[in-house]
Amino acid sequence: MAFVDEAKFFVKAGDGGNGCVSFRREKYVPKGGPSGGDGGKGGSVYIQASNRLQSLIDFRYRSHFKAERGTNGQSKDMHGRNGNDCYMQVPVGSVIKDSETREVLAELMNDGETFLAAKGGGGGLGNAHFSSGSNRTPRFATKGRVGEELWLRIELKLIADIGLVGLPNAGKSTLLSRLSAANPKVASYPFTTLEPQLGVLQFRYEDPCIIADIPGLIEGAHDGAGLGHTFLRHIERTRILLHVIDVSSDDVQTDFKVIENELRSYREDLLDRTQFLVLNKTDIADPEKVNDAVTRFTGMGFQVALISGLTGEGIQHLKDLIEEKLEELRKLDRQEQERKDQEKAIPEVDSE
């Protein structure tokens, strides 16, 4: 199935039904009176996040979403039926924007979270509402209001704990297959990965986490060069970045700076995330070059892991490093949540 992470679509809420003009004609009701019912409310369009979806592929086949119109009021004070709401399901991590202004309207981060995209129009009033002492036979009713309609844009940002970044052919897909049960395409040419790949990393003691493999970045990716610029948004929500470097390349330091500059140019705060430098292909690299790279990057304050994606050497050590760091981050999250819960539990004291 193709991976789609951006789409444009149209939403139209239902119009309200019109009010009715009618008068009573019962045999034993002298002088009758107005009996026109109200129109029903139009249905609204809701966007709901669901864990069951991983892509926006459905938007390739449908781009218009409309709720049902409310029915008109009828005689004998019968109100029209309300229109049915329209519920759209999108993957968790979707960002809803106005198509013209690009203003962010909602970010759906949790399963079941719902956003009202277009509100249905109210129903019109029947002539029974307008009866008065001076006008006992009103011969008018109001029309239903028009439901909201607009073009929206949806962008998917994968919610993953770990993001794999690096130059093309650095070995990210191989590493993903080693860390998880994912089976991405692996080949000896650049840009093997054409779309983000997800995998689940299982730990011995901690809860599992999700890994996202981002297509290879090249110099100028933040300006649209190569493939990775399209998917840079997917690492915005990751907590740990694994910067995979081919330690057997001619200039390891330059390879590192290319990716670092692209991350900084896209979003400078990405460099504040926890980063592990993963020096890959140690099985074919010059040992002296490997030792020199470890010394240099360690001196820069990075935590370095030596691995061989081909042979599996160092993979378990990398898993242990990730597990330890995730445990630390999750502990901080729990403490922060407990602090917020305690603040909510403290009753507000009236200063007066």
Q: What is the DSSP secondary-structure string of 206-267? A: SPPEEEEEPPPP-TTGGGT-TTGGGGGGGGTT-SEEEEEEETTSS-HHHHHHHHHHHHHHH-
Whether residue 235 is found in the same domain as residue 260? yes
Whether residue 207 is found in the same domain as residue 78? no
| Residue 343 tokens, joined | 């603040």
Whether residue 111 is found in the same domain as residue 30? yes
- Residue-level pLDDT at 147: 95
Last-in-domain residue among 125, 156, 187? 156
Instruction: Give percent of the chain above pLDDT 90.
Output: 34
| Residue 84 tokens, joined | 């049915």
Instruction: Give percent of the chain above pLDDT 70.
Output: 87
Distances (CA, A) of 55 to 6, 130, 173, 183, 285: 9, 52, 20, 18, 38
Whether residue 324 is found in the same domain as residue 184? yes
**Residues ≥6 apart with Cβ < 8 Å to 107:** 94, 95, 96
- Residue-level pLDDT at 109: 86
| Residue 279 tokens, joined | 């020096």
Whether residue 192 is found in the same domain as residue 259? yes
How many structural domains compose the chain? Answer: 2
Residue 352 lies in a domain: no
Give 27's pLDDT tier (boundaries 50, 70, 90).
confident
Residue 268 lies in a domain: yes
Last-in-domain residue among 141, 156, 171? 156
Span 334-344, mean pLDDT? Answer: 82
- What is the four-CA torsion angle of 215, 237, 152, 45, rounded to 10 degrees? 130
**Residues ≥6 apart with Cβ < 8 Å to 95:** 104, 106, 107, 108, 154, 155, 156, 157
Alpha-carbon distance of 281 to 311, in angstroms, equals 9
Amino acid at 10: F
Give 58's pLDDT tier (boundaries 50, 70, 90).
confident
Q: What is the pLDDT of residues 190-207, one digit of tens each?
A: 444 446 677 788 887 778
Whether residue 138 is found in the same domain as residue 239? no
Residue 350 lies in a domain: no
Residue 107 lies in domain:
6-156
> What global pTM score does this model have?
0.66
**Whether the predicted pLDDT of 130 surpasses 80:** yes
Last-in-domain residue among 156, 179, 195? 156
- The enclosing domain of 58 has a CATH number of 2.70.210.12
**Whether the predicted pLDDT of 2 surpasses 80:** no
Span 116-128, mean pLDDT? Answer: 94
Alpha-carbon distance of 22 to 276, in angstroms, equals 75
Residue 1 lies in a domain: no
Span 148-162, mean pLDDT? Answer: 86
Q: What is the pLDDT of residues 241-289, one digit of tens each?
A: 899 999 988 888 888 888 888 888 888 888 888 889 999 999 888 889 8
- The enclosing domain of 259 has a CATH number of 3.40.50.300
- Residue-level pLDDT at 146: 95
Contact at 8 Å (CB) between 53 and 108? no
- Residue-level pLDDT at 85: 96
* Ramachandran category for residue 86: left, alpha or beta (phi over 0 → left; psi -120 to 50 → alpha): beta
Give 183's pLDDT tier (boundaries 50, 70, 90).
low
Whether residue 142 is found in the same domain as residue 192? no
197 versus 121: the higher-pLDDT residue is 121
Cα angle 308, 314, 318 (rounded to 5 degrees) comes to: 115
**Residues ≥6 apart with Cβ < 8 Å to 100:** 151
- Residue-level pLDDT at 151: 95
